[in-house]
Amino acid sequence: MAHDQFGELTGWDLEGFHNGGDTELWKRLGSHVVHESDDERGDIAGVRFAVWAPNAKSVQVIGDFNWWTGDAMHIIPGSGVWGAFIEGLGEGTLYKYRIETQDGRWIEKVDPMARFSEQAPANASIVYESKYVWSDDDWLEQRRAARAHAEPMSVYEVHLGGWRRGKSYLDLAEELVSYVKWQGYTHVEFMPLAEHPFEPSWGYQVTGYFSPTSRFGKPDDLRYLIDRLHQAGIGVIMDWVPGHFPKDEWALGRFDGTALYEHADPRQGEHVDWGTYIFNYGRNEVKSFLVSNALYWIDEFHIDGLRVDAVASMLYLDYSREEGEWIPNQYGGRENLEAIDFLRYVNRHLYERAPGVVMIAEESTSFAGVTKPVHEGGLGFGFKWNMGWMNDTLRYLQLDPIYRQYEHNLLTFAMVYQYSENFVLPISHDEVVHGKGSMVNKVPQDDWRKFASLRAYYSFMWSFPGKQLVFMGCEFGQRPEFNESVSLEWWVTELWGHGGLQRLFRDLNHIYRDNSALYELDSEPAGFTWINGDDRAHNTLAWVRNDSEGNHVACITNFSPEPLNDYEVGLPQAGAWEEILNTDSPIYDGSGEFGNLGEVQATPEPWGHFPARARVTVPPLGSIWLRRNQVS
C-alpha cells in the first residue's frame, strides 16, 4: 500500500536538481529501500519511489507487488517530481512507472534512475541496494596523487560480451584480470556497461544510464571485477554516452508524453543517422541527470576515467546535417554552446571532485582546446583520441611497401600538431568492424609480411608520443572482424605469427612501463627528438624519446621489406646503447637474422644536430629500440 507520509522528498531536496547543480541525483530520485519510524507502528520498512515527470496528469508505480495494476504517486509541490512510499517492499522488487499524459494516453516507462534492470528483452527496473565492501583503498590513494600525463598509459579496450562469450563479471574477475596483468596493460577500457536493449549497439544506445547491464551479473558483481582489477594494479576506464539515447518507447524518449530529456525540435533533438534523440543540454534537470551519472560511475563503481563517446556530435549543431536541417546558435554559428558549457561543467566537476580520474574525448574534428583546462577557455578533458594519427597511419599500413615512399608524410604529419592536445593513440573497435577488416587483413601480401608489418607498426605506435589503446584481439592478430556475438579466436595464439605478436605486445607493455623516456614527456616537445623523419627512400623513421632525467630510447622503424645494414643514425650520447627491442626476434616469430647482438656503440662524432653517431642494423618490416640510461 502506498503512503505519502513515509520516505518523502521535499522541494528543498530537489532544489539542486532544478538549478542544474545536483551531482548526486541517484540518491534522491529512483527507488530506495528506507526505514521510517512511526509513533504508532514503530519501524516501517519499504521502498521510496521518485520520478521526474513534470507534464504528467498522473503517475502510478506498477510492479510485481501489485500485479502491475498501479499504486498512485503524488506530486511534490512545485517540483515536477512524483513520489510514493510503499510499505513492505524491498530489494529485488520489479517495477515501472505508468504515466498519464496531458492528452489522456497512458504510457509505461522504466525508471531513468534505476540502479538494476532485467535482462533484455525484458526491461523492468529492479530495486537494488549495494552491500559491497571495497578493498582498493591503496589504489584510490595512489590515484589521488597520480599525474596521468607523465605516467604510462597502455589501454586494452574490451567488449565484455565478446572477450570470452558467456563469462560473467565474476568469471572475468579471474580470467580477464589475469590476462591483462600478464600482458602488462596499465588500464582496461570497457565499452559501455550501462543497460542497453540491443546487443549489436555494443552499449552505445543506453536505456539505463545508472543501471550496469545485467547480462553479466549484478551491480555488486561488477564492483568486484573493478576491485580485482585495482588490486592487480590495473586502472578502469569506461565509455560514457551523453551524446544521444535511443527511441525505445519504454525508455527516456518523450518520457511524460513531452520532450523531457531531449529537444522537442528534431533539428536540435534528433540524430537522423543513428535514429536517436539528443539530450537537451540547456535544461537544468538534464544537466543534473548527466553530471550525476558521470559521478555515479566514479563514486559508486570506482571507475578511474570516462571516455566520452561521439563528442564531435555534441559540439556542432550541424553535425551530419544538410543546410536548413539545423538551427544556428544565438550568434549565428554552428557550435552547440549549451553542450560546450555542459562538457566544461562535467569535466571541471569531476576533476575537482575526484582528483586522479581521467576524462577522455573521442573527438574527430580539430575543435580547439579539447584538452585545455576550462579556466583557460578549453573543454577541460585530460586526453583526446588522436583520430588523425590513426587514420593516417592505417592508410600507410595498407599500402604495398613499394608505394609507401610516396606517402611518407602519413607517418610524420601527426608531429606537426602533437603538442596542441594531450593525445591517446587509438586502434579501437571502430577500426575492425563494418567491412574495414581486421588489422592483420589490412596489411598486403603474405603472412610473413603481414605479421612483420604489424609488429613494426605496433612498436612504432608504442614509441610514438601519446598514450596507447588497442582493441581486444588485435594483440594476437585475430583475422575476422569483431563480432559481439562470438568469442575472440583464442585458439590462434598457439599458431605461428599470432602467438609471436601476442608475446611482442607483452614485451612492448613491459619495456614501455620500465622506461620513463617512452612516456614521461609525451605532452612536451622535450620528450621527442627526430633523428631522421625524411628517409622516405627506405620507408624508415627514427627518433629519440627522452625523459627529464636525461635517459634516452632511440626508436628506428623500417617499413620496407629490405633490411638496413650499417644504417647510420645520430644519437644524443656516445657510448654503449643497449638493444632492448627487436621485432625480428625469433620469440616474436621473426627471422632472428637481423639484429645488433644486444648492443650498439656510438662514437663521439657529430651527426646532424647530435653529438654522436652509430651504425645499426634494422630488420625488414621491423623496429629496434636502443636504450642509453644516465647510470650506464
**Cell 656510438 identifies what position?**
602
Helices (H) then strands (E): counts for the chain = 15, 31
Q: Which amino acid is at 59?
A: V
Three-class SS state of 177: helix
The closest alpha carbon to 426, from 404, 394, 378, 473, belongs to: 394
Which residues make Cβ contacts (< 8 Å) with residue 216, sequence separation at least 6? 160, 161, 167, 168, 169, 172, 222
Mark whether 362 is an active-site residue: yes
Answer for the pair 360, 381: CB distance below 8 angstroms, yes or no.
yes
Task: Label residue 332 left, alpha or beta by phi (over 0 means left) and psi (-120 to 50 means alpha).
Answer: left
Q: Would strands 194-195 and 540-546 be described as parallel, antiparallel, or unpaired?
A: unpaired
- Distance separating alpha carbons of residues 632 and 612, to the nearest angstrom: 16
Structure letter (DSSP) for residue 118: P
Q: Strand, coil or helix: what is 32? A: strand
Residues shown for the chain: 632
Beta carbons within 8 Å of 493's beta carbon, 6+ residues apart: 476, 499, 502
Q: Which of 256, 304, 338, 362 is catalytic?
A: 362
Residue 309 among the catalytic residues: yes
State the Cα–Cα distance between residues 538 and 395, nearest whole angstrom. 18
Rounded CA gap, 45 and 33, in Å?
A: 7
Nearby residues of 294 by Cβ (< 8 Å), 6 or more positions away: 240, 242, 306, 346, 349, 350
**Which residues are CB-contacts of 366 (< 8 A; sequence separation ≥ 6)?**
none
Catalytic residue among 227, 309, 338, 535: 309
Distance from C-alpha of 321 to C-alpha of 553, rounded to nearest angstrom: 47
Contact 241, 309 (CB under 8 A): yes
User: Contact at 8 Å (CB) between 594 and 574?
Assistant: no
Task: Return the bridge partners of 559, or none.
Answer: none
368-405 as b/e: b if 16+ CB within 10 A = eebbbbbeeebbbbbbbbbbbbbebbbebbebebeebe
Neighbouring C-beta atoms of residue 484, cutoff 10 Å: 17
CA 117 – CA 434 distance, rounded (Å): 30
* Contact between residue 348 and residue 295 where contact means Cβ atoms under 8 Å apart: no
Q: Which of 623, 608, 214 is nearest to 456 (CA)?
A: 623
Q: Which residue type is seen at 626?
A: L
Residues designated as active site:
309, 362
